[in-house]
Structure formats: C-alpha cells, structure tokens
Amino acid sequence: MKRCISCHEPILLEMRWSDLFTKQTIDPLCSECKSVLKPIVPDRICSICSRQMNEKTYACSDCKAWSAHPLYSDVLHSNRSIYLYSEELKELIKRFKYDRDYYLGACFSMQIKEALSSMAPYDFLVPIPMHPAKEKKRTFNQAEALLALSGLPCHHLLIRAESSSSAQAQKNRHDRLLSQNPFSSTKKLNNQSIVVIDDLYTTGTTIRHAAYALKQAGAGKVSSITVGR
C-alpha cells in the first residue's frame, strides 16, 4: 500500500480504465497534506519572479528595482516558483532541509518536472551550491536532492566561495541585497540555456548571483525554478 511521504497515512487510489494500459502516476502526498499547500496561480503573477499578484504583471516592484541594478538588471530571464511560502510549506521544507528528511523532497518532484516542461528547451539543470561546511553539517544539498529525487540530471556548473559562510536565511532584506556574489562558474559556456534549481526564492539575490556568474561564463538564457516564493 502506498503511504503519504509526509504524514505516512495510506493513499487511496482511484482506478481508471486508462490505468490498465499506462502506468499510473502517484502523487507522494496524500490529498489532505497536499490541500494545505498553496499553489501559485500562474495567471496572476509577476512574469519575472512568480510573485503572486492580483493580476498578470510584467514586473513587480522588486523586479523593477532589480532592473535598475548595474550588474544584475537582466541576468535572470524568469523564475518559476510552485508554492506560496506559507507556514505549511515552511514546516515541510524545515523537515526536508534541517531535519534531514531527504526523501521528503520527492513530494515536489511532479511539480518541478511540470514547471520544467514549460521552460524547454534547456541545456543544463544547475543546483545552487551550498557552502561546503554547511553541506557537510546538513549531509546533503537540498537543490541537488530536488533534482535527484525527480530523476533529473544535475550539472555542477557553479561553486560557492568557502569564505561566504553567512546564510541568506539569517540575513534581513537589506543585507541580502548588499551581499557580495559568492558564486563562480566551473567552466566556460557557449550560449547554453540554463535552469537554476533551489528550494526558495526570497529577495531573488541568490538566484541573480548565480545567474550573473553563469552569464559571465558565457551562458545564454538563465531561468530558475524554486519550490517556494
């Protein structure tokens, strides 16, 4: 019997005629656990960062501010976030990242692959790298885990400077926006299209730092996918 990856209760499956001929795709979350998550509505977002808006908007106030930045004005083509960062999602990501419940990351697999299908074609899927000391303490990189658990390839085109030890989650908005870029590319690129993967989009600083490093190395279009926004 299939059990929910979060609450471990049995998942009741509704059989259809089509299931006799094709393998049924089973969501790892039960309907109750899934119902508390708040999907971002695609037709009411900022088209650049996926911020939930009252209507479809080309650029929210944050993205307009980024567009005036001397370095990061046009490095990010677009970000697609899947869920609003609610208390329920916060708890789920806490269990995944900080409580080291690695396989819980699989509950986002279907949504990540669906988001990726709208970004095709692309050449590389690039996880945001962690500081080595933090990755050693946590035992895994959550962005790499999201790709692995989704059965997707992982291309390590970014490294993070070992001196960049201050976590973005511990900074306020002002400090995030002023922080130095900790990323550099591991190889020269030739106009390839890249999708960066991470768990959260907050101010957009981390994603744009990564996109800038990739563009400096010769990348073409750089987009991103995050679980929460």
Q: 10-residue block means of pLDDT along the chain (229 residues)?
A: 89 64 74 94 94 93 95 95 97 95 95 94 97 90 97 96 62 61 96 98 96 97 98
Q: What pLDDT, on the 0 to 100 scale, is given for residue 177?
A: 56
How do 158-160 and 183-185 pair as beta strands?
A: antiparallel
Query: Looking at the domain covering 37-228, what would its CATH class be?
Result: alpha beta
Are 192 and 123 a contacting pair, CB within 8 Å? Answer: yes
CB of 216 closer than 8 Å to CB of 73 = no
- The reported pTM is 0.87
Q: Domain residues of the chain, as ranges?
A: 1-35, 37-228
Contact between residue 67 and residue 73 where contact means Cβ atoms under 8 Å apart: yes
Sort 141 into a burial class: Cβ within 10 Å, 0-12 / 13-18 / 19+: buried
Please list the helix, strand and coil fractions of the chain in percent, rounded to the nearest 5, in that order.
35, 15, 50
Closest by CA position to 25, among listed 33, 34, 16: 16
